[in-house]
Amino acid sequence: MVPAPDFYHQIISRNIEFLLWDFVKNNDLGIVVDAPVDVLLSPEDVLQPDILFISNERRHIITEKNVAGAPDLVIEILSPSTQERDKLVKRNIYACYGVKEYWIVDPLTKSIEVMTLSREGVKLYGIFLKEDTLTSPLIDGLSIPLHEVFE
């Protein structure tokens, strides 16, 4: 079994989820949920991202028990025990199944890497540090001051 995330991981998760949900809800864009929720990408690929966003246009992938398909945005917060899996394995799986945007949140460096999916594969959109304001190419108008995430 993978150990539970540490306390700071959970604080970061809460902060991102609340800031993202506030924007999504106020603009009627879709739904934001946090772990644990199963995301079924195939019979062999069932993942539980820390946070995910599903646009109104893709709500049909939400079932009573899980998410049956690729969310629009997936956010993973690194933990020492999952770091390599989140950075490489999960990123490739999410890209293979069509996740449009993927954030990797690093509590140690207080940074967030934002990656997007293109025809050529996964591309780095930007690396945002604690003193920066994160923007999303997927969610137009989203602006998250990272000092509020890493407080």
The rounded distance, in Å, linking the Cα atoms of 25 and 139 is 12
- pLDDT score recorded for residue 88: 72
Peptide bond into 49 cis (omega under 30): no
Q: Does 1 have pLDDT greater than 70?
A: no
Taking 3-state DSSP, the helix, strand and coil percentages for the chain, each rounded to the nearest 5, stand at 30, 35, 35
pLDDT digits (tens, 9 = 90+) for 79-96: 876 767 767 788 889 999
Q: Is the CB of residue 150 less than 8 Å from the CB of residue 12?
A: yes
CATH number for 7-149 (one of 3.20.20.140, 3.90.1570.10, 1.20.1250.20, 3.30.230.10): it is 3.90.1570.10
Q: Return mean pLDDT, the chain.
A: 92
Question: Which residue shows structure tokens 């989820």?
Answer: 17
Rounded percentage of the chain residues whose pLDDT exceeds 90: 82
Residue 110 pLDDT > 80, yes or no?
Answer: yes
| Phi-psi domain of 65 (left: phi exceeds 0; alpha: psi -120 through 50; beta: other) | alpha
Angstrom distances, CA of residue 19 to CA of 12, 102, 109: 11, 17, 20
- Tell me the pLDDT tens digit for each residue of 58-86: 999 999 999 999 999 999 999 876 767 76
Q: What is the pLDDT of residue 3?
A: 61
Instruction: Indicate if the pLDDT at residue 146 is higher than 60.
Output: yes
Positive or negative: CA dihedral 68, 70, 75, 78? positive
DSSP H or E segment with residue 48: none
pTM, 2 dp: 0.92
